[in-house]
Amino acid sequence: MKLTRQAIADVILIEPAVHGDERGYFFESFRKDQLEQTLGHSVNFNQDNESLSSRGVLRGLHYQLPPHAQSKLVRVISGEVIDIAVDIRVGSPTFGQHVKAHLSGSNKHQLFVPRGFAHGFVVLSEQAIFAYKVDNHYAPEHDCGIHYNDAALGINWQLNTSQLVTSAKDAQQPTLLTRQQTAPDTLFEYGKNYYA
């Protein structure tokens, strides 16, 4: 299993060692010890989630506020997506920047999205089954988001806007700048330990 820090170092791409033969394949999809060694702190995942989406479905950009902030370990079981993690830690040198990963059932890559980041993905294949671990349960009163098409974020979703299918909730999310100016308490603070 190869774990690589991305351009924003707190985001980690995981490439499992896939062993295949005429019977099929086998791989370790999660190693707590290796992830924590790379992170330098513990992560206690307590829930697994799964979604099925068709081509063009865009889910995001989502996050939860403390004390229910979530880390996510995301992967695609079948199909392919573009996965995005946006740094929303005010004061961070990479505030508003993002990491993009191509996740698919074929490459079996995973992305670790830490607390302090907004997350989203768009489906490029006809369908995709998306699975992820979280280290806090869903808390609707702490649920937040950033508009997926915020021009300041510069995200290339690789599909035309007319091809995207979003929820009404996601379509109405504010931009990152709007959140920062009008509701700064709905963002994270760079340098603060949200795992303590």
Tell me how far apart the alpha carbons of residues 24 and 108 are, in angstroms, rounded to a whole number: 14
Is residue 1 within 8 Å of residue 34, measured between CB atoms?
Answer: yes
- Residue in this structure with the two tokens 């229910």, named with its chain if needed: 68
Between β-strands 89-90 and 188-189, what pairing exists: parallel, antiparallel or unpaired? Answer: parallel
Backbone Cα Rg of the chain: 16
Residue 129 CA, distance from chain mean position: 15
Q: Which two tokens stand for residue 42?
A: 């513990």
The beta strands (E) that lie in 7-145 are given as: 12-15, 19-21, 24-26, 47-54, 58-64, 72-78, 80-87, 89-90, 98-104, 110-113, 117-123, 127-134, 143-145
Catalytic site positions: 62, 132
